[in-house]
Structure 1
Amino acid sequence: MSMMRTAAAAAGLLALAACQTSGATPSAAGDPVVAVRDGQTTLRPGQTVAIALPSNGSTGYAWSLADFDETVLMRSEPFGQEITGAHPAGMVGVPGQTHWRLVALAPGQTTLIFNYARPWEAGSPAAETARFAITVR
């Protein structure tokens, strides 16, 4: 009986390690994995990765996602949606977060690169860049 418990515990730890990422939040079945900014996130096919970046649309700045390998990850919802905290109607300058979710499709690697810039300032460097390395196994 003790040997069965040890084997079950080992199997549970291996399963948890398989869906862990370097510093990312482990998820229960069906819950999204929170991606690690400037780090590595590892997923299994079918898992969802969630990314939230601080934003303030009233400044004119917006996050945009550069091309990524769509054979590895598929867009999901929300995708690029800015959500602000509660505030009085008509109040401007309220900070929020822009959210993305992507679903792991097949084994592979891709890097998600987000640029925070004003769309009308083409050619100007982004005010901020965020990178997320994603591996699907």
Structure 2
Amino acid sequence: MMKRTCNWLIATFMIVWLSACSVLPAPAPPPATAAPETVQIQAEDAGSTITLHTGGLLEVALNGNMTTGYAWEPQDLDTRILQTEGEMDYRSDSQALGASGVFRWRFKAAAAGETVLKMIYHRSFETDTPPLETFEVNIVVQP
């Protein structure tokens, strides 16, 4: 008799416990992480002010010709505010020998603040020669 009562109590407890579990709300799904904003600029944007939020990306596309030995590179980059993201990418406009193309750089807005992004088009091996071209934009990074 005692064994039957004990089994009945355990069965009753399990039914009550399982019923309670079924009325509990399901846990909320984790918040969706939005992709960081990406702002794209090119030569026509020189001299302008670009606003980003921390974590946002800036893509710079500038025309040039790598076959001449010239390349676009950032100069005096304030890495507290703006950091390079990956390597420079160069794509030729055609398969023709000596064809020009587009240099692409990506920068990440690392922290709030203001800085100037200066890019120079030069031959890195010509250290005493001024750059052939320069490109500058003002960068404002907001939290």
| TM-score, normalised with respect to structure 2 | 0.67
* Residue correspondence of structure 1 range 100-119 to structure 2 within 5 A: 100-119=105-124
Equivalent residue number for residue 34 of structure 1? 40
1:56/1:94 contact within 8 Å kept: yes
Q: Distance in 2 between matches of 1:52 and 1:94?
A: 16
- Residue type of the partner of 1:72? I
Question: Displacement of 1:135 after TM fit?
Answer: 0.6
State the secondary structure of the residue aligned to 1:58.
helix
Equivalent residue number for residue 129 of structure 2? 124
Equivalent residue number for residue 17 of structure 2? none
- Structure 1 gaps of 5+ residues are 1-27
* Residue correspondence of structure 1 range 23-102 to structure 2 within 5 A: 30-35=36-41, 36-77=45-86, 79-87=87-95, 91-102=96-107
- Aligned Cα root-mean-square deviation (Å): 1.8
Highest Rg: 1 or 2?
Answer: 2
The percentage of counterpart residues that share the same residue type is: 32
Structure 1 runs of 4+ off > 2 angstroms?
A: 28-31
Moved more, 54-63 or 28-37: 28-37
Question: Displacement of 1:37 after TM fit?
Answer: 2.0
State the secondary structure of the residue aligned to 1:99.
strand
1:55/1:82 contact within 8 Å kept: no
- Equivalenced residues, count: 106
State the secondary structure of the residue aligned to 1:125.
coil
- Residue type of the partner of 1:83? R
State the secondary structure of the residue aligned to 1:106.
coil
- Structure 2 gaps of 5+ residues are 1-33
Q: Distance in 1 between matches of 2:121 and 2:65?
A: 10
- Residue type of the partner of 2:48? G
Equivalent residue number for residue 6 of structure 1? none
Question: Displacement of 1:29 after TM fit?
Answer: 5.5
State the secondary structure of the residue aligned to 2:88.
strand
Q: Distance in 2 between matches of 1:70 and 1:104?
A: 9
- Residue type of the partner of 1:124? T
